[in-house]
Amino acid sequence: MKKLATLTALALSFAATGAYAETLTGYVSDAMCAKDTHKVSSDDHAACAEKCIKGGEKPVLVVDGEKVYTITNPKLLIPHAGHKVTVEGDVKDNALTVKSVKM
């Protein structure tokens, strides 16, 4: 019985620190350009982000010109490089696992 109680407590502690679902709207940028988060919404940034992501930079999502999320499954966002999108996904710390993308 003690083992069951211990396992239950352990499972609940992992659940409390796990990822949580969220809907976020922001710009798909590349990791390098996202260092200046205020640039990502500019018109000339879209072409730069597309070029950098296709060149191998990792895509990120910049929300509100401040918060930068790394993407755990980047293939879903590559076609949206430089665009403003709304994504649904799971967030854990600064990592986002994208479930769906809307333009």
pLDDT digits (tens, 9 = 90+) for 62-76: 999 889 999 999 999
* pLDDT for the residue 7: 46
* pLDDT for the residue 10: 47
Q: Is residue 1 situated within a structural domain?
A: no
Q: Is residue 72 situated within a structural domain?
A: yes
**What are the residue ranges in the chain where pLDDT is below 70?**
1-18
Start-to-end CA distance of the chain, whole Å, equals 52
What are residue 87's DSSP bridge partners?
24, 101
Residue 67 sits in a domain whose CATH number is: 2.40.50
Q: To the nearest whole number, what is the mean pLDDT of the chain? A: 85
* pLDDT for the residue 20: 82
CA dist., res. 98 & res. 65, Å (int)? 19
Task: Give the domain extent around 78.
Answer: 19-102
Of all residues in the chain, the percent with pLDDT exceeding 70 is 82
**Domains of the chain: total:** 1
CA atoms 19, 25, 28, 29: torsion sign: negative
Q: Is residue 64 situated within a structural domain?
A: yes
* pLDDT for the residue 12: 53
Q: Is residue 77 situated within a structural domain?
A: yes
